Protein backbone atom coordinates (compact mmCIF):
# COMPACT_ATOMS: atom_id res chain seq x y z
CA UNK A 1 0.00 0.00 0.00
CA UNK A 2 1.21 3.50 -0.89
CA UNK A 3 0.23 6.61 1.07
CA UNK A 4 1.30 10.18 0.37
CA UNK A 5 1.43 12.37 3.47
CA UNK A 6 0.43 15.69 1.96
CA UNK A 7 0.14 19.30 3.05
CA UNK A 8 -2.01 21.33 0.64
CA UNK A 9 -0.18 24.19 -1.11
CA UNK A 10 3.25 23.08 0.01
CA UNK A 11 6.31 21.24 -1.32
CA UNK A 12 4.26 18.07 -1.44
CA UNK A 13 2.02 19.56 -4.14
CA UNK A 14 4.76 18.70 -6.62
CA UNK A 15 4.46 15.05 -5.57
CA UNK A 16 0.70 15.18 -6.05
CA UNK A 17 1.44 16.72 -9.45
CA UNK A 18 3.85 13.89 -10.29
CA UNK A 19 1.29 11.29 -9.27
CA UNK A 20 -1.15 12.74 -11.81
CA UNK A 21 1.56 13.01 -14.47
CA UNK A 22 2.29 9.31 -13.95
CA UNK A 23 -1.39 8.34 -13.94
CA UNK A 24 -1.06 6.38 -10.70
CA UNK A 25 -3.61 8.25 -8.57
CA UNK A 26 -5.60 5.02 -8.21
CA UNK A 27 -2.55 3.35 -6.63
CA UNK A 28 -1.86 5.92 -3.91
CA UNK A 29 -3.89 7.11 -0.94
CA UNK A 30 -3.56 10.84 -0.26
CA UNK A 31 -3.54 11.65 3.45
CA UNK A 32 -3.71 15.41 4.17
CA UNK A 33 -2.00 16.62 7.35
CA UNK A 34 -1.49 19.97 9.00
CA UNK A 35 1.93 21.62 8.76
CA UNK A 36 3.57 24.87 9.76
CA UNK A 37 3.77 27.02 6.62
CA UNK A 38 6.55 29.41 5.66
CA UNK A 39 4.54 32.43 6.85
CA UNK A 40 4.09 30.85 10.28
CA UNK A 41 0.48 29.82 9.77
CA UNK A 42 -0.75 26.31 10.36
CA UNK A 43 0.31 23.84 13.01
CA UNK A 44 2.20 20.57 13.29
CA UNK A 45 0.05 17.46 13.02
CA UNK A 46 0.71 14.54 15.38
CA UNK A 47 -0.60 12.24 12.63
CA UNK A 48 2.31 13.20 10.38
CA UNK A 49 5.00 10.47 10.43
CA UNK A 50 7.73 12.73 8.99
CA UNK A 51 10.47 13.00 11.66
CA UNK A 52 10.45 16.81 11.39
CA UNK A 53 6.71 17.25 10.91
CA UNK A 54 7.19 18.31 7.30
CA UNK A 55 5.87 17.15 3.92
CA UNK A 56 6.05 15.35 1.61
CA UNK A 57 6.39 11.88 3.02
CA UNK A 58 5.55 8.59 1.35
CA UNK A 59 4.72 5.34 3.12
CA UNK A 60 5.08 2.10 1.17
CA UNK A 61 4.04 -1.00 3.06
CA UNK A 62 5.25 0.49 6.31
CA UNK A 63 8.49 1.99 4.97
CA UNK A 64 8.80 5.77 5.25
CA UNK A 65 10.42 7.78 2.42
CA UNK A 66 10.94 11.54 2.81
CA UNK A 67 12.40 14.41 0.72
CA UNK A 68 10.90 15.37 -2.63
CA UNK A 69 13.76 14.12 -4.80
CA UNK A 70 13.88 10.76 -3.04
CA UNK A 71 10.11 10.31 -3.35
CA UNK A 72 10.18 11.20 -7.05
CA UNK A 73 13.02 8.75 -7.63
CA UNK A 74 11.20 6.07 -5.66
CA UNK A 75 7.90 6.47 -7.50
CA UNK A 76 9.39 6.67 -10.97
CA UNK A 77 11.43 3.52 -10.23
CA UNK A 78 8.40 1.74 -8.78
CA UNK A 79 6.34 2.58 -11.87
CA UNK A 80 8.96 2.60 -14.65
CA UNK A 81 6.42 2.53 -17.47
CA UNK A 82 5.04 5.95 -16.56
CA UNK A 83 7.52 7.64 -18.91
CA UNK A 84 8.55 10.25 -16.33
CA UNK A 85 12.14 9.01 -15.97
CA UNK A 86 14.81 7.59 -18.28
CA UNK A 87 15.37 3.85 -18.00
CA UNK A 88 18.17 2.53 -15.73
CA UNK A 89 21.34 1.77 -17.64
CA UNK A 90 20.93 4.64 -20.10
CA UNK A 91 23.12 7.77 -20.17
CA UNK A 92 19.99 9.85 -19.77
CA UNK A 93 19.38 8.13 -16.43
CA UNK A 94 22.56 9.65 -15.06
CA UNK A 95 21.46 13.10 -16.16
CA UNK A 96 18.06 12.57 -14.53
CA UNK A 97 19.55 11.43 -11.22
CA UNK A 98 21.96 14.36 -11.23
CA UNK A 99 19.09 16.85 -11.51
CA UNK A 100 17.15 15.26 -8.64
CA UNK A 101 20.11 15.25 -6.26
CA UNK A 102 21.41 18.67 -7.39
CA UNK A 103 18.02 20.21 -6.76
CA UNK A 104 17.70 18.77 -3.28
CA UNK A 105 21.30 19.41 -2.23
CA UNK A 106 22.08 22.69 -3.99
CA UNK A 107 19.33 24.54 -5.85
CA UNK A 108 16.64 24.65 -3.17
CA UNK A 109 19.01 25.64 -0.33
CA UNK A 110 20.50 28.38 -2.51
CA UNK A 111 17.13 29.78 -3.55
CA UNK A 112 15.70 29.61 -0.05
CA UNK A 113 18.73 31.40 1.39
CA UNK A 114 18.52 34.11 -1.27
CA UNK A 115 14.79 34.58 -0.68
CA UNK A 116 15.45 35.04 3.04
CA UNK A 117 18.36 37.41 2.45
CA UNK A 118 20.96 35.08 3.93
CA UNK A 119 24.48 35.85 2.69
CA UNK A 120 27.81 34.42 3.83
CA UNK A 121 31.07 33.76 1.95
CA UNK A 122 31.26 30.24 3.36
CA UNK A 123 27.75 29.48 2.18
CA UNK A 124 28.58 30.71 -1.31
CA UNK A 125 31.80 28.69 -1.47
CA UNK A 126 29.89 25.52 -0.60
CA UNK A 127 26.64 25.99 -2.51
CA UNK A 128 27.30 28.90 -4.94
CA UNK A 129 24.46 31.35 -5.62
CA UNK A 130 21.34 31.99 -7.68
CA UNK A 131 23.39 32.98 -10.73
CA UNK A 132 25.06 29.56 -10.73
CA UNK A 133 21.70 27.82 -10.31
CA UNK A 134 20.33 29.76 -13.27
CA UNK A 135 23.43 28.95 -15.32
CA UNK A 136 23.05 25.22 -14.70
CA UNK A 137 19.47 25.27 -15.98
CA UNK A 138 20.33 27.62 -18.86
CA UNK A 139 23.06 25.30 -20.11
CA UNK A 140 20.71 22.33 -20.08
CA UNK A 141 17.98 24.19 -21.96
CA UNK A 142 20.49 25.12 -24.66
CA UNK A 143 20.59 21.40 -25.53
CA UNK A 144 16.89 20.62 -25.45
CA UNK A 145 13.46 21.84 -24.38
CA UNK A 146 13.61 19.91 -21.09
CA UNK A 147 16.32 19.30 -18.51
CA UNK A 148 16.99 15.75 -19.71
CA UNK A 149 16.63 16.52 -23.40
CA UNK A 150 13.59 16.01 -25.58
CA UNK A 151 11.21 14.60 -22.96
CA UNK A 152 9.56 16.05 -19.86
CA UNK A 153 10.59 14.14 -16.73
CA UNK A 154 10.15 14.29 -12.99
CA UNK A 155 13.32 16.41 -12.95
CA UNK A 156 11.41 19.20 -14.70
CA UNK A 157 8.54 18.82 -12.24
CA UNK A 158 10.94 19.15 -9.31
CA UNK A 159 13.25 21.91 -10.56
CA UNK A 160 10.51 23.84 -12.32
CA UNK A 161 8.45 23.98 -9.13
CA UNK A 162 11.11 26.12 -7.45
CA UNK A 163 11.02 28.76 -10.16
CA UNK A 164 7.23 28.98 -10.11
CA UNK A 165 7.48 29.38 -6.32
CA UNK A 166 10.26 31.97 -6.63
CA UNK A 167 9.47 33.85 -9.89
CA UNK A 168 11.94 36.57 -8.90
CA UNK A 169 14.72 34.13 -9.76
CA UNK A 170 13.54 33.52 -13.33
CA UNK A 171 15.91 35.43 -15.63
CA UNK A 172 14.45 37.55 -18.42
CA UNK A 173 15.49 35.10 -21.12
CA UNK A 174 13.04 33.54 -23.62
CA UNK A 175 14.21 29.93 -23.36
CA UNK A 176 14.31 30.01 -19.56
CA UNK A 177 10.96 31.78 -19.19
CA UNK A 178 9.36 29.44 -21.72
CA UNK A 179 10.58 26.37 -19.80
CA UNK A 180 9.16 27.71 -16.52
CA UNK A 181 5.87 28.57 -18.26
CA UNK A 182 5.61 25.09 -19.80
CA UNK A 183 6.34 23.47 -16.44
CA UNK A 184 3.64 25.60 -14.79
CA UNK A 185 1.10 24.88 -17.54
CA UNK A 186 1.05 21.10 -17.14
CA UNK A 187 -2.58 19.87 -16.86
CA UNK A 188 -1.53 17.46 -14.11
CA UNK A 189 -0.26 20.39 -12.05
CA UNK A 190 -3.56 22.24 -12.53
CA UNK A 191 -5.36 19.14 -11.28
CA UNK A 192 -3.12 18.93 -8.20
CA UNK A 193 -3.71 22.61 -7.40
CA UNK A 194 -7.48 22.18 -7.77
CA UNK A 195 -7.37 19.28 -5.33
CA UNK A 196 -5.28 21.35 -2.93
CA UNK A 197 -7.93 24.09 -3.01
CA UNK A 198 -10.63 21.56 -2.12
CA UNK A 199 -8.54 20.19 0.76
CA UNK A 200 -8.01 23.66 2.19
CA UNK A 201 -11.74 24.41 2.02
CA UNK A 202 -12.52 21.06 3.63
CA UNK A 203 -10.07 21.78 6.43
- Give residue 157's domain range: 91-187
C-alpha to C-alpha distance for 152 and 29, rounded to whole angstroms: 25
Among residues 173, 169, 172, the alpha carbon closest in space to that of 142 is found at: 173
Per residue in 67-112, pLDDT (tens digit) is 999 999 999 999 999 999 999 999 999 999 999 999 999 999 999 9
Residue 99 sits in the same domain as residue 158: yes
Confirm whether 197 is domain-assigned: no
Q: What is the pLDDT of residue 203?
A: 57
Per residue in 36-64, pLDDT (tens digit) is 888 888 888 999 999 999 999 999 999 99
Confirm whether 76 is domain-assigned: yes
Confirm whether 194 is domain-assigned: no
Residue 70 sits in the same domain as residue 112: no
CATH number at residue 157: 1.20.1050.10
Confirm whether 192 is domain-assigned: no
Q: Which residues of 6-20 are buried (b: 16+ CB within 10 A; e: fewer)?
A: bbbebbbbbbbbbbb
Amino acid sequence: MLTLIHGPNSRSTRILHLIHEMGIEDRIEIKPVGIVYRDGSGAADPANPHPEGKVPALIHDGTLITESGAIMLYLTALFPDSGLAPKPGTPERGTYLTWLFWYQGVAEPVMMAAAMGIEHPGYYRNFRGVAEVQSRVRNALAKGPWLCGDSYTAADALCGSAFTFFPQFVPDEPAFKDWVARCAARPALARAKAEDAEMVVAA
